Amino acid sequence: MAIDGTYNIEVDTPIGKQSATLILKADGGSLSGSFDNPMLGVHEFSDGTIDGDDVTWAMVLDSPVGKMNLEYSGTVSGDEIAGKIKAGSFGTAEFKGTRA
């Protein structure tokens, strides 16, 4: 199944569930895209990787609590995506979603 697409995701954060739109674009083993959240805005990334159905990427966000380094890892299965976000000292959050 192709990884490319737009996904409506939900992130389980310490302040509650947050909705976002995730756009993924594959180019061989490289991954780029964007993450759009109403509270944090749109953030693009271009340094992601693809290994089969597994995806990883990182972003630096300017948030209300300062800059946060976020490391995403997930798996695309059909029209679903699920994974984890490592947010430095803020711990790890889970995300899941479906292709729009």
Domains of the chain, first to last? 5-99 (2.40.128.120)
Residues facing 18 on adjacent strands: 11
Closest CA to 72 of 94, 53, 51: 94
Distance CA 58, CA 47 (A): 7
Profile the chain (100 residues) by mean pLDDT over runs of 10 residues.
Answer: 91 88 95 91 93 94 80 96 91 95
Query: Does the pTM exceed 0.85?
Result: yes
